[in-house]
Structure 1
Amino acid sequence: MSVTVEQYNPEWPQQFQTIKSELETYLKDVAYLSIEHIGSTSVPGLAAKPIIDTDIIVTQENVQPAIDALISNGNFDYLGELGLRYRHVMKDPNQSPRRNIYVCVDGVAQTRNHLGLRDTLRRDVELRNEYARLKLELASKNTNIIDYTVAKGVVVNKILEASGILSKDELAAIKEANTIGENFSALRTERLLLREFVMADAEGYFELESNEENARYQDWPPRTKEQARQLVINNLRDHNDVPRINFELAVDYQGHFVGRVGANLSPANNDKLPGESTIKQVTHANLWFSFLPSVQGKGFATEAMQAFIQALTKRKRGAEEGGKWEFEIECDPRNTGSWKLAERLGFVRHSLTKEAWQSKGEWVDSLVYRKVVGDA
């Protein structure tokens, strides 16, 4: 999904006041310190994504009471810290206007970062104009949110240095947090876009996972809407883990969610041979994929998995470090679509285990295909 940046809208401050009033109702029994309008929409004259960013600032001991109140009184989802300590991300079910809600600990670097960025841009016209030009330029190039955040990093650090409220170590930590890290930049193929999940994918995920046909060879029955939503939340949390073990990307076709591809990583046996002084790392990756029935038979799964596997091998594990990637696709042999896709991807049949486990009241065979990428 490309980032949308708009010229400053004078309605944004009033939208924040509406959101603030709602939050005050939910937090009536919580000793919070303040509710702050932060982010680019809080800076008069600054172009911004049309999303109202809001910090609920509390002392450390009131973090959990604030989270609990938002969940119980406002039906919020708690997404976790998402890679930034002391900044707890809450998903408001009300997204009119669109908003990001954070519960932040008073005085910590991340909270001072939010306030310092806002206050500096409010008073420094030159920095504000430089930041606006960059944001509009990135949006004009259809930049995805991961690359957008990384590309802004240099100017953001320049603004924070000008604020004078962060130490050198704190600035370095924020700079590191704004790098791509373990996140995936968007992957474009001839027809598809593979990208990190966002909460807006919950409906598409439910359409996919609630389908009887798709669940036929899975260990679980069709998902409920709440289960699908929770799985999207899990994906959001996973792509902020360091090191990241679980990778799952949404697949878009012509702007619509059509499926998902994923991998779970783990160390495998090493390749040290007699007489060798070093160990070549082997990273094992269990792969999966699932696509809506309406797009099956069009080669989308093959196209997406080829791009996904290629992107994984370029990461800082396995083959790039002189070791190997050992990719595995395990499936029910009755699922001919799965094992035929594995063969199209160049995977080799590794094993067939009869009656490997019980699933939905019946014994199921296990067919495993493998492919090794990296040094021989």
Structure 2
Amino acid sequence: MSVSVHPYNPAWPSYFLKIKARLESLLTSTPYTSIEHVGSTSVPLLAAKPIIDIDIIVSRENVAPAISVLVAAGFTSLGELGIVDRWCVKDPEQEPARNIYVCVDGAFQTRNHLAVRDTLRQNAALREEYASVKLELAAKGTNIVDYVEAKSGVVEKILRAAGVLSEEEMQAVGRANRKGERFGATKTARLVLREFVLGDEEAFLGLEGREEVVRYQTWAPRTKEQAREEVARIIRGSAAVPRTHVELAVEHEGRFIGRVGANVKREGKAHADLWFSFLPEVQGQGFATEAMEAFIPLLGTALELEIECDPRNTGSWKLAERLGFDEFELTERVFECKGEWVDSLVYRKQV
């Protein structure tokens, strides 16, 4: 999913005001300092991703009350996502698209947002330079993870011009803008593997909400609420350091067709449990094999890889064999699945 950067839309400030009014109505009993329009859509004449970024600025003791009120109103709390003192909350309303954060008043990440906005509003040369960088990255079809890192140089230039952060805080911003343990787009002959984003909820539901997809799983087809929570969990996991839950979306010709994932343990004997799930209509075309062949090297080396499956799920164990896994053990009646006891077939491989 590549980044899309649009010319400045004069309607963006009015979109913010409508969203702000709704937030104010929800937070009537919760103290807050201000609700700020931040990000590129808050800067007149600046090209931007068409997403309204909003900071709800509160004192530290009011972070939890503010998040609780929003969660009670149907928002999803995604946590800090690797950025201290900035909590992301997903608004169920996304027309127009928006990112909403609960931020600690005075924290450097809050001052960072405000400083970038205010400096770009006043400095036309930096505004044009920033727009040029963003448009160039979008024209290349840059993935969102690579996009954030690639524009970090010009963001640092803007912040230095603002002069509101200490050198230590500048370094922290730089670290936050680096990919860290997240992955940019990984391309194969036919596929793109990428990090999950909030916009994947419907596609995830279209996959995991189908009976034939979860036939051999212990859970029922996912509901819309469960799909939303699962995508939120995946995104939270992507920000963890060290990263123990790695799950990527798989696209073919711009369409979400499946997911690949691993739970990784590196203490003691390094081990990773792998899984994969694809739409029924794309199965039998080698996509799962192609995706897993690209995914496994991303996990690193010196790992014992394991794929466990229900032996009735011939597609899973045949894929394990195509990937060069060896059958490790077959154990009868290991777990109950949809009212019947089933066996466990384990394949392993060392990389």
Q: TM bucket by the smaller chain?
A: over 0.9
Q: How does 1:273-288 map to 2 (within 5 A)?
A: 282-288=269-275
Counterpart amino acid of residue 317 in structure 2: W
SS of match in other structure, 2:135: helix
Deviation at 1:311, TM superposition (A): 2.1
1:99 CA drift (Å):
1.0
SS of alignment partner, residue 274 of structure 2: strand
Q: Which residue number corresponds to residue 101 of structure 2? A: 102
Residue correspondence of structure 1 range 49-64 to structure 2 within 5 A:
49-64=49-64
Correspondence 1:348 to 2:326:
yes
SS at match of 2:212: helix
**Are the structure 2 counterparts of residues 170 and 268 from structure 1 closer, same or farther at C-alpha, using a change threshold of 3 Å?**
closer
Shift in Å, 1:299: 0.8
Instruction: Please point out which of 290, 302, 313 is paired with 1:303.
Output: 290
Aligned to 1:135: 134
Question: Quick one: which amino acid aligns to residue 107 of structure 1?
Answer: G
Counterpart CA distance in 2 for 1:267 and 1:78 is: 28
Which AA in structure 2 matches 1:18? K
Which amino acid in the other structure matches residue 56 of structure 1? I
Structure 1 residues 61, 268: closer, same or farther in 2, change over 3 A? Answer: closer
2:342 to 340, 357, 364: 364
TM-score by length of 1: 0.91
Aligned to 2:9: 9
Q: 1:312 aligns with which of 299, 303, 309?
A: 299
Per-residue CA deviation, residues 5-27 of structure 1 (Å, 9 max, x unaligned), is 11111111111111111111111
Higher Rg of the two aligned structures: 1
Please give the alpha-carbon distance, in whole angstroms, between the structure 2 residues aligned to 1:51 and 1:210.
28
| Structure 2 counterpart SS, 1:30 | coil
SS of the aligned residue for 2:213 comes to helix
Of 157-166 and 212-221, more deviation after overlay is shown by 212-221
Deviations 1:280-324 (A, max 9, x none): xx52111000111111111110010001012222xxxxx3xxxx1
1:37 matched to 2:47? The reply is: no
Asked if 1:26 is matched to 2:26, the reply is yes
TM-fit CA distance, 1:70: 1.8
Amino acid aligned to 2:84: R
Q: What is the letter of the counterpart of residue 277 of structure 2?
A: S
The one-letter code sitting in structure 1 at the alignment partner of 2:280 is P
CA drift at 1:358: 2.8
Gaps of 5+ in 1: 270-281, 314-318
Spell out the pairing of 1:139-150 with structure 2 (5 A cutoff). Answer: 139-150=138-149
Corresponding residue of 1:336: 314
Deviates more, 1:16-25 or 1:336-345: 16-25
| Structure 2 CA distance for aligned equivalents of residues 362 and 95 of structure 1 | 41
* Matched residue count: 351
1:268 deviation in Å? 6.4
1:279 alignment partner in structure 2: none
Q: Which amino acid aligns with 1:13?
A: P
Matched, 1:70 2:70: yes
In the other structure, the counterpart of 1:273 is none
Give the whole-Å Cα distance in 1 for the aligned partners of 2:303 and 2:66: 44
Deviations 1:188-231 (A, max 9, x none): 11111111111221112112112222222112222222111110
Structure 1 segments (4+ residues) deviating >6 Å? none
Q: Match of 1:12, as an amino acid?
A: W
* CA RMSD across the alignment: 1.3
Query: Could you tell me how far apart the structure 2 residues matched to 1:214 and 1:96 are?
Result: 30
Offset, 1:260: 0.7
Code of the residue aligned with 1:285 in structure 2: it is A
Letter in 2 for 1:114: H
Name the structure 1 match of 2:161: 162
Q: Deviation of residue 267 (structure 1)?
A: 2.9
User: Partners in 2 of 1:183 and 1:337 — Cα distance?
Assistant: 29
Distance (whole Å) between structure 2 residues aligned to residue 16 and residue 127 of structure 1? 24
Unaligned runs of 5+ in 2: none
Aligned to 1:213: 212
Q: Work out the CA distance in 1 between the residues paired with 2:322 and 2:312.
A: 17
